[in-house]
Chains A and B, each alone.
Chain A
Amino acid sequence: MKILVGIKRVVDFSVRVQVKKDGSGVNTDGVKLGINPFDEIALEEALRIRERGTQAEVVAVSIGPAEVQPQLRTALAMGADRAILVETGEVLQPLMVARVFHELVKRENADLVILGKQAIDDDSNQTGQMLAALWDRPQATFASKVELKDKTLMVTREVDAGLETIEIDLPAVITTDLRLNTPRFVKMPDIMKARSKPLQVLKLEELGVTAAPKLEVTSYAPPPQRVGGKKVEDVTALVATLRQRGIL
């Protein structure tokens, strides 16, 4: 079986992103970048499916500028068999990303695509669902447990009401939630080994994907700031303050 995994480079989760003064975007100069945490989980899950004994080839895919190659090398060091970079200088929105993945899924004859449920930069939470729609295949979003049984998958999903389990037929798309697994650390020898694994670069234009409609981003603004920071001495003062505020 062939598993495609999405790897997006994003601003590291520990960075408090700042909006540029002129509202044209956010400051990314000198900011730490890394693999979207949900994508690391996606890759880890693909590797575990393989390690549990299923014959599988794991292909890490990223769409972005040439600078995302280090993230793909990390994916290869974690254990992906090969990587594909769809190179573009443009920042693609989810529908276009889904179209690109759909094209790759067809070319690669993939059986399973595992993506993060959201990227922690644009927080859209759309791509997996869109890919499943275009591909006309099942989607299991927000997965916290995945069991492969022959040609079907049992997936437990984290939903607002609790945990939902669905059964889906392969081929299919899964999007990962945080509790699906804990990604492994990359070891030094694996980084060396990853250097010789295949990393194929395709130009976006070569794929022949029809450009998708886009949202026009007209401005960026910082969120309204909460002015907190007041402390009280003890429980009595806390209750008194809550009463003053009309809460109790």
Chain B
Amino acid sequence: MNRILVIAEHDGKKLNPATAKAVSCALAIGGEIDIAVFAADAAAVAGSAAKLKGVKRVLNIERAENAHQLAAALAPQIAKLAKDYTHLLAPSTTFGKDVLPRAAALLGVQQVSDIMKVVDAHTFERPMYAGNAIVTVKAPAMPCIVATVRTASWQACSEDGHAEITAAGTDAAIPQHTRFVELKADVSGRPDLQSAARVVSGGRGVGSKENFAVIYKFADKLGAAVGASRAAVDAGFVPNDLQVGQTGKIIAPELYVAVGISGAIQHLTGIKDARTIVAINKDPDAPIFQVADIGLVGDLFQILPELEQELDKL
């Protein structure tokens, strides 16, 4: 039988919703599922993890060194835990991408990145070339399978489970060569870009940091998270954590509104799984219109205020 260990992603206080998506992938593989919570104090996070569907046990691995989720600290512990499992999974977020390959290398395992679909317990679909090719890969079963889960391909599992929570530990030596200094996190209070049902993104066409106020205003009206193209981030209009695309966040909202974004291959990679894409762009030939379900040609500075007025009428 498969025994699957999912590495929980969290910020020390709350379980990140990406974890529930990785559990959905584990459910598709099938078998006994445990979740590992590495933290200085795991209580709050473990409580949420224990509710995830189909999870048998939540392992709390509490150590002072686990406070900041550093890959150098976590990977040796994950590698030790791996001996009891056939599969190790983590969400393909910057957390999972950082820590899991380090654990895989310690185990001598070639990792599978970004599982989109489970064909069988050893065979998976994953994207390459900015999502322009989907490859089917078969991973050797021994010693175990190590994989990250492409969160945009999976719905969060339900939260009706009752897993047992137990303390766990390893005798892994933790190196001192890597030290956490600080995290400058977004405190906008807006919905989280990676899990929001609605997202409004602005691109270079928005023109400036000041002009981005129109995007924020419109997003707030829709109750949407705010995203951006790389060009908008590079130009300093918005912080890096808003970047959507091949090298930013890959998202799958119900509604994606692209404003002043041309639709480069790398940007489209990040939004392919959105249910409905709306594009607002003054160039009728912008490539974004080829993928948009609803396109509107025009000046964003005229269209957005008009849209807000229409929404107010509803």
Contacts and interface: CB of A to CB of B under 8 A. Distances in A.
Interface of A: 11, 13-14, 16-19, 26, 93-96, 98, 117-118, 120-127, 129-134, 136-139, 141-142, 144, 154, 157-169, 172, 177-179, 212-223, 226, 228-232, 234-236, 238-239, 241-243, 245, 247-248
A206 B196 CA distance: 52
B97 A141 contact: yes
A138 B241 contact: no
A219 B137 CA distance: 8
A135 B254 CA distance: 44
Interface string B276-296: 111000001000011111111
A10 to B, nearest CB: 9
A172 B103 CA distance: 17
Nearest to B222: A248
Contacts of B129: 11, 17, 26, 120-121, 123
Nearest to A133: B105
B1 interface: no
Contact of B307 (A94, A238, A243): A238
A229 B292 contact: yes
A235 to B, nearest CB: 4
Where chain A touches its partner, the secondary structure class is mixed
15 contacts: A26-B132, A93-B110, A94-B111, A129-B97, A129-B105, A133-B105, A133-B106, A159-B241, A160-B249, A163-B184, A164-B184, A166-B178, A219-B135, A223-B131, A235-B307
A37 to B, nearest CB: 9
Contacts of B306: 235
B105 A161 contact: no
A161 B123 CA distance: 31
B264 to A, nearest CB: 9
Interface of B: 11, 70-72, 75, 93-95, 97-106, 108-114, 123, 127-140, 175, 177-186, 194, 230, 233-234, 239-241, 246-247, 249, 254-255, 265-266, 272, 276-278, 284, 289-297, 303, 306-307, 310-311, 314
B104 A226 contact: no
Given A96-B110, A138-B178, A157-B94, 13 more contacts: A18-B132, A26-B128, A129-B102, A131-B105, A139-B72, A141-B97, A144-B240, A162-B240, A164-B184, A212-B110, A238-B278, A242-B278, A247-B254
A226 B186 contact: no
A224 to B, nearest CB: 8
Nearest to A165: B181
A230 B294 contact: yes
Contact of A129 (B101, B230, B240): B101
Given A129-B98, A228-B293, A217 B104 contact: no
